[in-house]
């Protein structure tokens, strides 16, 4: 008498703590670059660079018009790139009519997202969100919370090192 073969559904293996690498700069960098490359496959389809995406997001999530300086400061802090590069990216977004200058008698140097920019941001955010969902699928919420706390602390300490000029 033969027993029917059973199939086991595929489930991603979770490495045991003995097999899992310890968190260090290399592990963080490998995860960052792999996830960023996956994100950039979406952005490339829309002829958008990573820097443009990050800059557009700052303007898109603002409650209203935001000063160019605020945008530049946030992106410089996030991406650790020069202010001149961010200003150039803002100009590229304006040329593409995704953001526009807003002139108010009491405030100068404001930018706001355009209707086209809002639609563009929504579309690319939805597409990159789907990619992110697949990347993080099946990872327990507790593990993500721990990783978030650890990476937040690493970021804080690295920023302190940069500020100290070491």
Q: Classify residue 140: in a domain, yes or no.
A: no
Query: What pLDDT is attached to residue 104?
Result: 72
Domain span at residue 90 reads: 47-134
User: Rounded to an integer, what distance in angstroms lies between the CA atom of residue 157 and that of residue 46?
Assistant: 35
Q: Classify residue 143: in a domain, yes or no.
A: no
- Average pLDDT for 19-25: 86
Q: Which tokens is 77 given?
A: 């802090």
Q: Classify residue 18: in a domain, yes or no.
A: no
**pLDDT tens digits, residue range 86-134?**
999 999 999 999 999 998 766 678 999 999 999 999 999 999 999 999 9
**pLDDT tens digits, residue range 41-60?**
999 999 999 999 999 999 99
Order of strands, sheet of 107-113, starting from the edge strand that comes earlier in the sequence: 66-67, 107-113, 99-104
Q: What is the CATH number of the domain that holds 91?
A: 1.10.10.10
Higher pLDDT, 103 or 1: 103
Considering the entire predicted model, what is its pTM? 0.81
Q: Classify residue 23: in a domain, yes or no.
A: no
Query: For the chain, how many structural domains are there in total?
Result: 1
Q: Classify residue 141: in a domain, yes or no.
A: no
- Average pLDDT for 139-152: 96
Query: pLDDT band at residue 20, thresholds of 50, 70 and 90?
Result: confident
- Average pLDDT for 6-31: 68
Q: How many CB atoms lie within 10 A of CB 48?
A: 20
CB proximity list for 53: less than 8 A, separation 6 or greater: 39, 43, 124
Q: Classify residue 33: in a domain, yes or no.
A: no
Query: pLDDT band at residue 19, thresholds of 50, 70 and 90?
Result: confident
């Amino acid at each position: 008498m033969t027993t029917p073969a059973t199939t086991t559904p595929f489930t991603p293996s979770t490495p045991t703590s003995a097999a899992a690498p310890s968190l260090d700069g290399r592990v963080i960098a490998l995860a960052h670059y792999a996830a960023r490359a996956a994100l950039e496959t979406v952005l490339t389809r829309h002829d958008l660079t990573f820097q443009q995406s990050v800059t557009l997001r700052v303007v898109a999530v603002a409650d209203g018009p935001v000063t160019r300086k605020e945008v530049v400061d946030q992106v410089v802090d996030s991406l650790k790139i020069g202010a001149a590069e961010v200003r150039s990216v803002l100009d590229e977004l304006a040329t593409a009519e995704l953001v526009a200058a807003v002139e108010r008698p009491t405030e100068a140097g404001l930018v706001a997202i355009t209707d086209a920019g809002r639609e563009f941001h929504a579309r690319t955010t939805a597409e990159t969100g789907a990619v992110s969902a697949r990347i993080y699928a099946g990872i327990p919420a507790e593990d993500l919370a721990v990783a978030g706390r650890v990476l937040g602390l690493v970021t804080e300490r690295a920023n302190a090192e940069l500020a100290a000029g070491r």
